[in-house]
């Protein structure tokens, strides 16, 4: 079985309150259809439908303070309660202590490599990103660090232009408006979803990192957040239309709460969604006993049949 891991940074299961929660207010017909007409909120979990299963996952993991990106993402990629082991939630970028968990066969990417499975981080990175890394002015965040430590390569501008990778906003518009690449290829949200399915099904394990959701939460701009979520939902519609449930699962989850409560600029301690899309029997196997972030990596290993590296 194949897995597409859609990582939405900073998405919690919040209240049914359109005044603070854009996941209630935004037009998201495709996501709601998966959940029996309900929004992606705390009251919607647990849920089992024709094509999707939703469980609520604890991101605090018994550690005081608000969950943070570096430790939360490290948990998702390793199955280890990293914040408990280091004594704190930490982020946004991994410090040397967290980085030590992202090497030596401890991550999903390294286990995939050891088991001769194909894997990719579908995001394309612009030239200035690599210049920053090479010059030491920029640090890898958790996911690219784990990927490159395992011997996989990041996709580049050339990969985006050739149709082998996706832009951070799925559609490519951000490469034009924010990065200045006026000739960057662009797609409608629906077509971007179709492209996501096409690319993901080329690998045993495909990962996409959607950081815009966390950024929108920190900005506290309801209209912008709703527009972002509507575009994401359009992509999801294309993805669901093209995805073959007999071949694999789509997993949507997060590292901590944020966007679901625009009354605060900070992260939240809300539980995060574990949304699994695909054949019911495989969903049941994946979601069995899943209660917090430490269960994600073992569940993925179980579905892809990975042995520990």
For residue range 244-293, what is the model confidence (pLDDT) as tens digits?
999 999 999 999 999 999 999 999 999 999 999 999 999 999 999 999 99
Residue 308 has pLDDT above 70, yes or no: no
Which CATH topology does 2-245+260-304 take? Alkaline Phosphatase, subunit A (3.40.720)
How big is the CA angle at 85 (ends 306 and 309), to the nearest 5 degrees? 20
For residue range 39-75, what is the model confidence (pLDDT) as tens digits?
999 999 999 999 999 999 999 999 999 999 999 999 9
Alpha-carbon gap, residue 243 to 234, rounded angstroms = 14
Would you state the pLDDT for residue 97? 97
For residue range 164-198, what is the model confidence (pLDDT) as tens digits?
999 999 999 999 999 999 999 999 999 999 999 99
pTM of the shown model: 0.97
Alpha carbons within 13 A on the beta-carbon side of 303: 30
Residue 105 has pLDDT above 80, yes or no: yes
| Residues facing 123 on adjacent strands | 166
For residue range 205-253, what is the model confidence (pLDDT) as tens digits?
999 999 999 999 999 999 999 999 999 999 999 999 999 999 999 999 9
Domains of the chain, residue spans? 2-245+260-304
Report whether 217 contacts 225 (CB < 8 A).
Answer: yes
Alpha-carbon gap, residue 196 to 212, rounded angstroms = 17
Would you state the pLDDT for residue 244? 95
């Amino acid at each position: 079985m194949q897995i597409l891991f859609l990582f939405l940074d900073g998405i919690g299961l919040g209240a049914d309150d359109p005044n603070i929660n854009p996941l209630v207010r935004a037009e998201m017909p495709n996501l709601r259809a998966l959940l029996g007409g309900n929004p992606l909120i705390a009251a919607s979990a647990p849920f089992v439908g024709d094509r999707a299963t939703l469980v609520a996952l604890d991101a605090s993991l018994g550690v005081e303070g608000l969950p943070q990106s570096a430790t939360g993402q490290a948990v998702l990629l390793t199955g280890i309660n990293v914040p408990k082991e280091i004594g704190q939630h930490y982020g946004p970028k991994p410090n040397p202590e967290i980085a030590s968990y992202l090497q030596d066969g401890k991550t999903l990417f390294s286990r995939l490599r050891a088991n001769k499975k194909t894997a990719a981080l579908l995001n394309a990175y612009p030239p200035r990103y690599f210049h920053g890394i090479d010059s030491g002015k920029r640090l890898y965040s958790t996911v690219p660090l784990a990927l490159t430590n395992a011997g996989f390569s990041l996709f580049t501008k050339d990969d985006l232009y050739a149709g082998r990778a996706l832009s951070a906003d799925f559609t490519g518009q951000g490469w034009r408006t924010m990065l200045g690449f006026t000739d960057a290829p662009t797609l409608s949200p629906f077509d971007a979803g179709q492209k996501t399915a096409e690319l993901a099904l080329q690998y045993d394990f495909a990962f996409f990192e959607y950081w815009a959701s966390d950024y929108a939460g920190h900005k506290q701009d309801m209209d912008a957040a709703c527009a972002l979520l509507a575009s994401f939902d359009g992509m999801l519609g294309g993805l669901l239309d093209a995805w073959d449930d007999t071949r694999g699962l789509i997993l949507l989850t997060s590292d901590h709460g944020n966007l679901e409560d625009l009354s605060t600029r900070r992260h939240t301690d809300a539980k995060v969604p574990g949304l699994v899309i695909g054949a019911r029997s495989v969903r049941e196997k994946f979601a069995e006993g899943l209660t917090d972030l430490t269960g994600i990596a073992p569940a993925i290993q179980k579905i892809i049949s990975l042995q520990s590296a």
